[in-house]
C-alpha cells in the first residue's frame, strides 16, 4: 500500500497546473472563455494535446500515452482547481474511454489518434430525455441500413455535443437482434443529424442531438450488448469527476478561508467569529474524507478491482462533500458569493453540475444500499477492490 505520487506523477501535476494557471489564473479569464463558443478555449485544448493530456489513458498503439487512472485523476483535479472549462473528462475519459473499451483496433486508431492530437473533439451521447443515469439506451434506436447502421431518436443533454467533431452514441438495437445496447460513432457532419447547443448553468455547453436515420458506424465487432462496458467506462468517468470535484472543493475552501481572514465586519475580520470558523473546519473534514475516497477509487481502477462499486462509493462521498462545501462557501462569503464577478459561486455551480452528469449521491446510495448486506464489512485493501484480493 502506497498513497504517495511518484516523481513522474508530480511532474505531470506541475505541468498541467502551470498550463491551467496561465489560462485560468483569474476568474476573468475563465469568464471570458466561457462567454464565447464553444464554451472553452481552443488554444488551451491544443496545449493540453501537446502535453499529451488528451491521449493520457489510451494505449500507445492507439495514439495515446498509456497512462492510467491515477494520472487521469491528477489532471481532473487540476481542471477542477481552476474550473477549466475544457471537456477533459467528457471527451477523453468518457467518450474516448468508450471507444477504447469497445472499438476495433482500426476504430481506436482512427478516433483516438486525432482526439489525442487535439484535432478532434469527442462527445458521448448517452443521456436521454426522461430517463436518468442509465448505461442502457432506449430512446435512440439503431437499425441496419445497407452495410451500415442508421440511428433515430434524441440524446440530451450531450455535453460539448454541439462542438464535437465525433459523437459516440449509445442506441438500442431495433428489429430482430433487439434487446441490447450498442455503441456507434457518428460524424459531426453526418446527414440527418441536428444539434442544438446551449449554455449550461456552470458555463460549459451541452446540446440536444437529434438523429433522423443518421448514418452511424457500429463500434466494435458484432451487436452483442455493451451495457457492461458502458457501465465500466461510466465508472471511470465518475471517478475522474470525483477528482475534478475534489480540486474544485479545495479551491472553494481555500478561497473561503482567505476571505474570512480579510473581510471585516463589526470592526474585526470574520475569522474572529467562531460561528464561521467552525463551519470552515467542517468543510475541511468533508474535503479530506472526499479526497481520500476519490484517490482510493482511482487506485482501485488502477489495481483492476471492482471499479463500478468503487465509483459509486466515490460518487456518494464527493456528492455529499460537494454540496456541503459548495453551499457553505457561498454562505460564509455572504452576498458576494452569489455574484457572477466573484469566483466562489461558479465553483458551487460546477460542483452542482458534476453531481448530476452521471449520477448524484442519492442515486449512488441507492445502488450501495441494494448491496449492503452482501458483505459483512468493507475492506478497502481487499476483495473486490483489489483484483488479487
Partner 1 sequence: MRLQLSPEMEAFREEMRTFFTTQVPQEIRDTVAARRHVSKEQYVETQRVLNAAGLAVPHWPVEWGGQDWTPLQRHIWREEMQLACVPEPLAFNASMIGPVIAAFGTQEQKEKFLPATANLDIWWCQGFSEPDAGSDLASLRTTAVRDGDDWVVNGQKTWTTLGQHADWIFCLVRTDPTAEKKQRGISMLVFPMDTPGVTLRPIELIDGSHEVNEVFFEDVRVPAENLVGEENQGWTIAKFLLGNERVGIARVGATKRLLAQAKEFAREITVDGRPLADDPRTAARIAEVENELLALELTALRVVATSADGKPHPASSVLKLRGSELQQAATELIVDIAGPLSLASFADGGSEVPGWARVATPEYLNYRKVSIYGGSNEVQRTIIAGTILGL
Q: Which of residues 245-264 bind partner 1 (CB under 8 A)?
A: 253, 257, 260-261
Span of 79-87, 121-129, 218-226, 310-318 interacting with partner 1 by CB under 8 A: 310-318
Q: How far is CA 132 from CA 49, 190, 269, 334, in A?
A: 32, 26, 45, 34
Say which DSSP state 358 is in.
Answer: S
**What is the DSSP secondary-structure string of 138-195?**
-SSEEEEETTEEEEEEEEEEEETTTT-SEEEEEEEEPGGG-S-EEEEEEETT-TTEEE
Grid cell for residue 245: 470535484
Q: Which of residues 46-65 bind partner 1 (CB under 8 A)?
A: none
Is 6 a binding residue for partner 1 by CB under 8 A? The answer is: yes
Nearer to partner 1, 313 or 350 (CB): 313
**136 contact partners, CB below 8 Å, separation of at least 6:** 170, 172, 181, 227, 230
Q: Annotate each residue in 64-103 with x if it binds partner 1 (CB under 8 A) or - if it does not, as one string.
A: ------x---------------------------------
Query: Closest distance between partner 1 and the C-beta of residue 350, in Å?
Result: 22
Maximum CA pair distance of the chain? 77
Q: Of 6, 96, 5, whose CA–CA distance to 48 is shortest?
A: 96
Span of 185-193, 201-209, 343-351, 378-386 interacting with partner 1 by CB under 8 A: 378-386
* DSSP H or E stretch at residue 125: strand 122-125
Is 378 a binding residue for partner 1 by CB under 8 A? The answer is: yes
Span of 95-103, 123-131, 132-140, 288-296 interacting with partner 1 by CB under 8 A: 288-296
Per-residue burial over 362-386, b if 16 or more Cβ lie within 10 Å, else e, is: ebbbebeeeeeeeeeeeebeeebbb
Nearer to partner 1, 106 or 388 (CB): 388
**67 contact partners, CB below 8 Å, separation of at least 6:** 56, 57
Nearer to partner 1, 199 or 261 (CB): 261
Q: Annotate each residue in 8-47 with x if it binds partner 1 (CB under 8 A) or - if it does not, as one string.
A: -x--------------------------------------
> Among 42, 289, 327, 336, which residue sits at the site for partner 1 (rule: CB under 8 A)?
289
Span of 161-169, 177-185, 275-283, 341-349 interacting with partner 1 by CB under 8 A: 275-283
Span of 106-114, 138-146, 229-237, 278-286 interacting with partner 1 by CB under 8 A: 278-286
Q: What are phi and psi of 194, to 5 degrees?
A: -120, 120
Span of 120-128, 145-153, 157-165, 282-290 interacting with partner 1 by CB under 8 A: 282-290
Is 377 a binding residue for partner 1 by CB under 8 A? The answer is: yes
Query: Closest distance between partner 1 and the C-beta of residue 389, in Å?
Result: 7
ω into 291 cis (within 30 of 0): no
> Among 121, 280, 307, 353, which residue sits at the site for partner 1 (rule: CB under 8 A)?
280
Is 313 a binding residue for partner 1 by CB under 8 A? The answer is: yes
* DSSP H or E stretch at residue 250: helix 227-262
Q: Of 170, 100, 167, whose CA–CA distance to 131 is shortest?
A: 170
Q: How would you classify residue 146: left for phi > 0, otherwise alpha for psi between -120 and 50, otherwise beta?
A: left
Q: How many whole angstroms separate alpha carbon 332 and alpha carbon 101? A: 44
Query: Closest distance between partner 1 and the C-beta of residue 185, in Å?
Result: 33
Is 373 a binding residue for partner 1 by CB under 8 A? The answer is: yes
Q: Residues for the chain: how many in total?
A: 389
Is 296 a binding residue for partner 1 by CB under 8 A? The answer is: yes
Nearer to partner 1, 129 or 389 (CB): 389
**What residues make contact with partner 1 under the rule CB under 8 A?**
1-6, 9, 70, 253, 257, 260-261, 271, 274, 277-278, 280-282, 284-285, 288-290, 292-293, 295-296, 298-300, 302-303, 305, 313, 316-317, 365-366, 368-373, 376-378, 380-381, 385-386, 388-389
Amino acid at each position: 500500500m502506497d498513497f504517495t505520487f511518484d516523481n513522474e506523477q508530480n511532474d505531470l501535476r506541475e505541468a498541467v497546473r502551470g498550463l491551467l494557471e496561465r489560462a485560468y489564473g483569474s476568474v476573468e479569464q475563465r469568464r471570458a472563455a466561457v462567454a464565447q463558443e464553444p464554451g472553452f478555449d481552443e488554444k488551451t485544448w491544443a496545449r493540453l494535446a501537446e502535453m499529451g493530456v488528451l491521449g493520457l489513458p489510451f494505449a500507445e498503439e492507439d495514439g495515446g500515452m498509456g497512462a492510467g487512472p491515477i494520472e487521469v485523476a491528477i489532471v481532473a483535479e487540476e481542471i477542477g482547481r481552476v474550473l477549466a472549462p475544457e471537456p477533459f473528462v467528457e471527451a477523453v475519459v468518457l467518450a474516448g474511454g468508450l471507444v477504447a473499451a469497445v472499438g476495433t483496433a482500426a476504430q481506436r486508431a482512427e478516433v483516438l489518434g486525432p482526439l489525442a492530437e487535439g484535432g478532434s473533439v469527442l462527445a458521448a451521447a448517452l443521456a436521454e430525455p426522461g430517463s436518468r443515469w442509465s448505461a442502457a439506451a432506449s430512446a435512440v434506436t439503431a437499425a441496419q441500413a445497407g452495410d451500415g447502421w442508421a440511428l433515430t431518436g434524441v440524446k440530451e443533454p450531450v455535453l460539448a455535443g454541439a462542438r464535437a467533431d465525433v459523437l459516440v452514441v449509445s442506441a438500442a438495437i431495433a428489429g430482430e437482434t433487439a434487446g441490447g445496447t450498442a455503441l456507434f460513432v457518428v460524424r459531426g457532419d453526418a446527414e440527418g443529424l441536428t444539434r442544438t447547443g446551449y449554455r449550461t448553468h456552470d458555463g460549459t455547453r451541452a446540446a440536444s442531438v437529434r438523429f433522423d436515420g443518421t448514418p452511424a458506424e457500429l463500434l466494435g465487432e458484432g451487436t452483442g450488448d455493451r451495457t457492461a462496458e458502458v457501465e465500466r467506462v461510466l465508472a471511470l468517468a465518475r471517478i475522474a469527476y470525483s477528482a475534478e470535484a475534489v480540486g474544485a472543493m479545495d479551491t472553494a475552501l481555500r478561497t473561503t478561508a482567505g476571505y474570512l481572514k480579510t473581510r471585516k465586519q463589526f470592526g474585526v475580520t470574520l475569522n474572529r467569529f467562531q460561528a464561521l470558523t467552525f463551519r470552515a473546519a467542517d468543510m475541511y473534514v468533508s474535503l479530506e474524507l472526499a479526497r481520500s475516497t476519490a484517490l482510493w477509487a482511482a487506485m482501485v481502477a488502477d489495481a483492476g478491482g471492482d471499479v463500478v462499486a468503487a465509483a459509486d462509493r466515490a460518487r456518494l462521498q464527493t456528492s455529499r462533500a460537494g454540496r456541503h462545501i459548495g453551499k457553505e462557501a457561498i454562505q460564509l462569503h455572504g452576498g458576494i458569493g452569489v455574484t457572477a464577478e466573484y469566483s466562489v459561486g461558479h465553483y458551487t455551480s460546477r460542483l452542482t453540475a458534476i453531481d448530476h452528469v452521471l449520477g448524484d449521491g442519492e442515486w449512488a446510495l441507492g445502488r450501495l444500499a441494494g448491496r449492503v448486506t452482501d458483505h459483512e464489512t468493507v475492506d478497502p485493501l481487499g476483495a473486490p477492490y483489489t483484483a488479487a484480493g
